Structure 1
Amino acid sequence: MTAIPIVRLTPLAWLRAGPLGVIWRSPRATTGAAIILVMLVLGLLAPLISSYDPSRGTFDPWIKPGVGHLLGTTALGQDIFTQLLYGARLTLLIGVASGVISTAIGTALGLSAAYYGGRTGEVINTITNVFLVLPGLPLLIIVSAFLRGGGIWAIILVISLTGWPWGARVLRSQALTLRNRDFIHAAVSTGESPARIIFKEMLPNLAGIIAANFFGTALYAVLSEAALSFIGIGDVSKVTWGTMLYWAQAKNALLQGAWWWVAAPGLGISILGMAFAFLNFGVDEISNPKSNQLGKATKVLRRKSVAKVVDASALPLLCIQHLDAGYLTPSGPVRAVRDVSLDVAPGEFLGLAGESGCGKSTLAFAATRLLDAPGAVFGGEARLSGQDLLSLTPEELRRVRWKQYSLVFQASMNILNPVIKIREQVYDAMQAHGVHDKAKLEARARELFELVGIRPDYLDAFPHQLSGGMKQRVVIAIALALEPKLVVMDEPTTALDVVVQRQILQEINEVRRRLGISIIFITHDLSLLVEMSDRIAIMYAGEVVEEAPAQEIYTAAKHPYTQRLMTAFPPLSGQRERREGIPGRPPSLAQDTPGCPFYERCTVHIPGTCDVKKPANVNLSKEGEPVHRVACFLHSPAVKPAMYEEEHALASD
């Protein structure tokens, strides 16, 4: 068993976990923030760094860079390095202030137009479009000419009032999509005020776009000020990087060979733009972590080991051994799957049951390398037909996926593209694995539809023309397209009514028997698994606490947790009884429990044993055959091997 990577708390751990952690956790954001911080500190400490007056010409003109003057002097005898330091102050002020004002205006108008719609939205949209069609620089020049002599704040005001439309347009487009999401409709239905919905529900979901808008506008402001100053419309009496460029061109610095006068402020503006870009990329990376992990396989953090020669014929179809998986968070790994070992035989229907958050989906997705970031596999093995899925390269994994195993996701009916016909979407998986003959694609698509109980003429339909049950059947058909050996189904019928659920499950079971495929079926409905499964595994707090044939689970459940799950469903016949849930709640997966994870909720626990020792998974025999596996001290005094416990304790140290 491989230990989880050690997570050590550093003296700056509080910074990572605090509000500034968003910047700290991204190398690009950290680089950008460091550059801006250095510029800000140099600007604020300019009087301490240089004793010269940036505006007074007290030296000889055109002195070349050297020891006395690091960047030389201007045509008027001013020290260029001193001007660069002082210029950083106003340049940063113009960029940040204009960015804040423009972003505030654009965000307010964009969100308001999207949320209120109607006449309000039309008016805001019209104003935005008018500003967008006006040429940016000419508009800046005209407005600046009227406000000439108003100082730096007049320039900030001009740039802010001309720099907001693009951000408003983008935000409106994104917010319109967000406005139609179910959670926004739910907030409106419950009577939340528009202000709360906009600022509490919508705004956080647009954080990445708003940040990009701010950094883009701040850079636009710096460049606009430089452009205005360069043509003499800005306040050239102030020292900014823009006015430095103005005086350099006015005094023909390049003709005099004084390239450093132009290079210094130009390089400063370029580095500032790079810093804004780094910050923007970093914020987007953290606010939209999934967008940066698309197409990537599950992160595997286990230690590299020498490849084993495994006889596939001696193994079950899927063999999971000591699998540890979970999620990487700023405060450390969350172990959602803990030392799980599980086998799936060829042609077997394995049911996986347990409460929400017990690790069912994480186990299935980790074993099949489909656990999205920040998910990761910490240790263990998952072998399909003897091949270790956790050691495959992304290209090898792409070839294995859908051909050797496939998945039907939770609420998977939503994965169908609404603007592409069903036929093309059924073809996609087959074409990705080398099937390009149109006749074969068509024949296979029709065969699949017959298999899952849909008329083939629906191949020409769009998803919106199908009912929920029919769309679910289409997704199952796509999963069976290449006749994989294993299909993982993560609560595929949860959103459907009970009649359609039963029809689909019966068809799944019939297809399984006909094709000889194995199925891992994940659900909360234990009564459903008892009827459909060959074998059932019960998960609790990331561990498999009981595993047995379905009939054994139904008639002789061993673990107290399984017994409570079984009694949560009332029988269809017999005397009516009062049913109760299981008191308490599962332990936090972010922490490790020294004993049995079910101890606090168990009514038959053994104090001094269950709370301090971890029960081992042991096989219970029936008529000499080991048919039942359970982790409970009520049935065996066996304790989980110390090797795993000590290794895990070391890793969590």
Structure 2
Amino acid sequence: MSAEAIADAVPEPAAQPSPKASTRSRFAGLRSAKTMTGLVMFGVFVLAGAFGPVFWRKDPSALSNDILQPPSSAHWFGTTQTGQDILAQVLVGTRVSLLVGVTAAVLATVLSLLVGLTAGYVGGLTDELFSALANVFLVIPALPLVVVLAGYLPTRGSLTVAVVISLTGWSWGARILRAQTLSIRRRDFIEAARATGERPIRIILFEILPNEFAIVASSFLFTIVFAILTQAGLAFLGLSDVTTWSWGGILYWAQNNQALQSGAWWWFVPPGLCIALIGMALALINFGIDEFVNPRLRVQKLAAKRARQMPVTKSEPRPASRRTDVVLEVTDLHVNYGEEPSAVKAVDGVDLVLRRGEVLGIAGESGSGKSTLAYAITRLLRPPGEVVSGSIHYWPRGEEPVDVLRMSPDELRAFRWAELAIVFQSAMNSLNPVLTLRVQMADSLTAHRPGMSTQQRDARVVEVMTMVGLPADRADAYPHELSGGMRQRALIAMALVLEPDVLVLDEPTTALDVVVQRQILNQIMALREQLGFAVVFITHDLSLLIEVADRIAIMYAGRVIETGSASELYRSPQHPYSDGLLHSFPHLHGPRKVLTGIPGTPPDLRFIAPGCPFQPRCSKAIASCTTTMPLLLATTKGHQVACLLTQPRSDDDGQL
């Protein structure tokens, strides 16, 4: 093939986000209300300590005749028993307290990094020696040790106090970093770094340390608070240089002059309030960093979620002629990860209908939104995933439909597993490793059918295990005592123990060999015929769905792009993506040929270009594909396609 032909065969790459946009989206989590509030509060203290004494030109040690004056225009924070201005003392004390806190935090964090990372990565004798050293400092109470050291040192200045505090505050951070490093060093990307010849120091600094950013930041911020509190305590006890103004020093002189007894509240309240506010500011910053590192902790939209979790609102009865056979209907469902403007639209306007006893297959590449759809249907999405809009209606037999998205937590617990159950991808991770199968299956019966006796629950457990092909004597086995196929059968048995109407299978056979896959699929299909439940089967293997599903929906970039009966989709796929998936596996009969697959990669869902999202990878794309988003429209009865090639177009709308 010539170079020109190769160049023509390669599709145009999708529009990539600019570096500036990527940076904005990466750090969007740091702009939360908590983080910004904490940064503003901390910034006020830094500015007050750095420039406050310059603008408030009163000498904190100067005596005057304004003795024990409450706050006034002349003395905003009042005066002491000797007429000294308390605001001037607080401003100078802010500088000293912050200097002690930050210095101690830097020294303690550096020590904990050196000991924790080295011990965790090197291991062996080095780990034992460093761990023993950290354990010694952990056993000794920190505050009494600080008091003893500060009391016997010849100098008690701010730098001395900061060094003493850092020597007593590094050990707990080192232990946490060591434990995290021990876990990270066994991961594949660390082994890959070693295999490529990277030096240990580079692996520690560039591979391990960035993964421990949240721990290091938390340790640093906590140590600042600990150091400020400890310095205030030492000064209050007279164990540091009380002639140098600090928040603790102000409290020391207030206590010595009996400010509390004399009612001079303005003497001790300002420094105490400063200590409390600086602790609050650093805690808010730490919360923001945690949310930035771990998106599951982002809770800015909890109010919107609570609004959705209202008591179940019954939908209007649907015409019986249209909905007698429907058990589940998804309408215009939108699911985002993160927040605008950089939200990932994992599910974008999906409409699906599941009929009783039907197998609905959902196929697509990784990242197409299949599993997100499954978790949205079962209301198992965790932050930052969130259902933005749409509805999921469930039709109980002989009753009016209910919107699953509007169920309260109690109603949702009663609905899940009893009416709709899910089988997850990884059986080993889905089963509790310290509980037997009997206990785990009986938990569902205890929660949903509290009236059942122990004998009835045990009988039901044995019954469903037998149904899925598990021997009854394996009921008292732990997950690690079972093979992969047996664990998957156990998950299916747990899902069927309450006889739900809908069973969601989220790639249940991905990690199994083809023989066990076939056995489990045959078992599921036989149980469906026997029990009459409907199945939502999610997989990337379209050839498998064509064999077991009644209808198939193809997903790409969070949207359903084609849906129809399995037989018709096999005979005549109308979307180029569906055709590419169908021809990505070899036929058992017919001539052997090279499989081309689908060129390119799925789009970045944060930055979807205008037009059809499949257009950059499509060999049949036309001009309007770059500007027009195709709608999912019916082509024949029961068959819908979202492709401009199947819709009327102008003569000048030629192929790209």
TM-score by length of 1: 0.88
Deviations 1:6-54 (A, max 9, x none): xxxxxxx9999388754421x2232222221111212222234322111
Kindly indicate whether the alpha-carbon contact (under 8 Å) linking 2:71 and 2:78 is maintained by their aligned counterparts in 1.
yes
Match of 1:490 in 2: 506
Q: Say whether the 8 Å CA contact 2:314–2:402 is kept in structure 1.
A: no
Show the counterpart of 1:105. Answer: 111
User: C-alpha distance in 1, partners of 2:217/2:376?
Assistant: 33
Cα distance in 2 between the residues matched to 1:429 and 1:162: 49
Three-state SS of the structure 1 residue aligned to 2:238 is coil
Aligned to 2:14: none
Instruction: Mark the CA change 1:507 to 1:307 in structure 2 (over 3 Å): closer, same or farther.
Output: closer
Contact 1:413 1:475 in 2 (8 A): no
Distance in structure 2 (CA, Å) of the matches to 1:419 and 1:396: 29
Shift of 1:298: 10
Distance (whole Å) between structure 2 residues aligned to residue 30 and residue 597 of structure 1: 36
* Candidates 589, 597, 604, aligned match of 2:605: 589
Structure 1 residues 135 and 364 mapped into 2: Cα distance closer, same or farther (>3 Å)? closer
TM-aligned CA deviation for residue 185 of structure 1: 4.9
Is 1:399 aligned to 2:428, yes or no? no
Q: Does 1:615 align with 2:630?
A: yes
Specify the alignment match of 1:645 in structure 2: none
Matches within 5 A, 1:214-613: 214-291=220-297, 299=305, 308-311=315-318, 313=320, 314-315=322-323, 316-329=326-339, 331-385=341-395, 386-435=401-450, 437-607=453-623, 609-613=624-628
Cα distance between partner residues in 1 of 2:642 and 2:21 = 38
| Secondary structure in structure 2 of the residue aligned to 1:70 | coil
Partners of 2:248 and 2:381 in 1: CA distance: 50
Is the 8 Å Cα contact of residues 369 and 558 (structure 2) preserved in structure 1? Answer: yes
Where 2:626 maps in the other structure, the secondary structure is coil
Amino acid corresponding to residue 393 of structure 1 in structure 2: S
1: CA distance between counterparts of 2:313 and 2:415?
22
Task: Pick closer, same or farther for the CA change 1:597–1:286 going to 2, 3 Å.
Answer: closer
Structure 2, unpaired ranges of 5+? 1-19, 396-400, 651-656
Q: 1:91 Cα shift?
A: 0.7
Tell me the distance in 1 between the aligned counterparts of 2:314 and 2:405: 12
- Would you say 1:17 and 2:18 are equivalent positions? no
Cα separation, partners in 2 of 1:260 and 1:128, compared to 1, 3 Å: same
Amino acid at match of 1:527: S
Report the number of matched residues.
619
1:364 CA displacement = 2.4
Does the Cα contact within 8 Å between 2:315 and 2:403 map onto a contact in 1?
no
The CA deviation string for residues 188-220 of structure 1, in whole angstroms up to 9 with x for no partner, is 555554334433443344333333322222111
Q: Which secondary structure state, in structure 1, belongs to the residue aligned with residue 338 of structure 2?
A: strand
Query: Residues 591-611 of structure 1, C-alpha deviation per residue, up to 9 Å, x if partnerless?
Result: 44443332232222333x333
In structure 2, what is the Cα distance between the partners aligned to 1:115 and 1:479?
42
Amino acid at match of 1:600: P
Task: Give, in angstroms, the shift of residue 157 of structure 1.
Answer: 0.7
What is the aligned-residue RMSD (CA, Å)?
2.9
Matched, 1:32 2:38: yes
Contact map agreement 1:301 1:378 (CA 8 A) in 2 = no
CA distance 1:573–1:191, change in 2 (3 Å): farther
Distance 1:179 1:266 in 2: 44
Distance 1:477 1:178, change over 3 A: farther
Structure 2 residue 644 is matched with structure 1 residue 629: no
Normalising by structure 2, report the TM-score: 0.87
Is residue 298–residue 372 contact of structure 1 (8 Å, CA) maintained in 2? Answer: no
**Equivalent AA in structure 2 for residue 118 of structure 1:** G
User: What amino acid is the match of 1:630?
Assistant: V
Could you tell me which residue of structure 2 aligns to residue 43 of structure 1? 49
Q: Is the contact between residue 16 and residue 24 of structure 1 (CA under 8 Å) also seen in structure 2?
A: no
**8 Å Cα contact 1:351-1:533 kept in structure 2:** yes
Paired residue secondary structure (2:245): coil
Q: Give yes or no for contact 2:309–2:408 (8 Å, CA) kept in 1.
A: no
In the alignment, the residues of structure 2 paired with residue 632 and residue 192 of structure 1 have an alpha-carbon distance, to the nearest angstrom, of 49
Question: Relative to 1, partners in 2 of residues 1:149 and 1:35: Cα closer, same or farther, differing over 3 Å?
Answer: same
What SS does the corresponding residue of 2:331 show, helix, strand or coil?
A: strand
Q: CA 1:452/1:192 → structure 2, altered by over 3 Å: closer, same or farther? A: farther
- For 1:99-139, what per-residue CA distance to the aligned partner results, in whole angstroms no more than 9, with x for missing partners? 22212322332233223322111111111111111121221
State the distance in 2 between where 1:185 and 1:469 align: 30
Q: Secondary structure at the match of 2:645?
A: coil
User: Taking structure 1 as reference, are residues 60 and 92 closer, same or farther at Cα in structure 2, changes over 3 Å only?
Assistant: same
Distance 1:462 1:346, change over 3 A: same
Between the aligned partners of 1:16 and 1:565, the Cα distance in structure 2 is 34
Change (3 A) 1:348 1:186: farther
Residue 177 of structure 2 corresponds to 171
Distance in 1, Cα, partners of 2:27 & 2:369: 31
Distance 1:278 1:300, change over 3 A: closer
Structure 2: which amino acid aligns with 1:571? H
For residue 397 of structure 1, report the CA deviation from its aligned partner: 1.6
Structure 1 counterpart of 2:200? 194
Partner Cα distance (1:319, 1:146) in 2: 76
Flag the 1:557–1:20 CA change in 2: closer, same or farther, 3 A: closer
Query: Which amino acid in structure 1 is aligned with residue 599 of structure 2?
Result: P
Decide whether aligned partners of structure 1 residues 448 and 197 sit closer, same or farther in structure 2, where only a CA change above 3 A counts: farther
Q: Is the 8 A contact 2:150 2:156 kept in 1?
A: no
8 Å contact from structure 1 (residues 302, 377) kept in 2? no
Q: Do residues 115 (structure 1) and 121 (structure 2) align?
A: yes
Unpaired stretches in structure 1, ≥5 consecutive residues: 1-12, 640-653
Given that 1:302 and 1:378 are in contact with CA atoms closer than 8 Å, whether structure 2 keeps it comes out as no
After superposition, the Cα gap between the structure-2 partners of 1:184 and 1:515, relative to the gap in structure 1 and judged at 3 Å, is farther
SS in 2 for 1:254: helix
**Kept in 2: contact 1:303–1:379 (CA 8 A):** no
Superposed CA offset, 1:546-581 (max 9, x none): 112222222222222111111111122332111112
Alignment correspondent of 1:3: none
User: C-alpha offsets along residues 36-84 of structure 1, whole Å, 9 cap, x if unaligned?
Assistant: 1111212222234322111232444433433322222223332111101
Question: Structure 1: how far apart are the matches of 2:104 and 2:470?
Answer: 59
* Matched position secondary structure for 1:376: strand
C-alpha contact 2:421 2:500 (8 A) present in aligned 1: yes
Q: For residues 240 and 544 of structure 1, do their structure 2 counterparts lie closer, same or farther at Cα, with a shift above 3 Å needed?
A: same
CA-to-partner distance for each residue in 1:438-479, whole Å, 9 max, x for gaps?
112211111121122211222212222122222222122111
Which amino acid in structure 2 is aligned with residue 130 of structure 1? V
Displacement of 1:301 in angstroms is 9.1
For residue 277 of structure 1, give the secondary structure of its aligned residue in structure 2.
helix
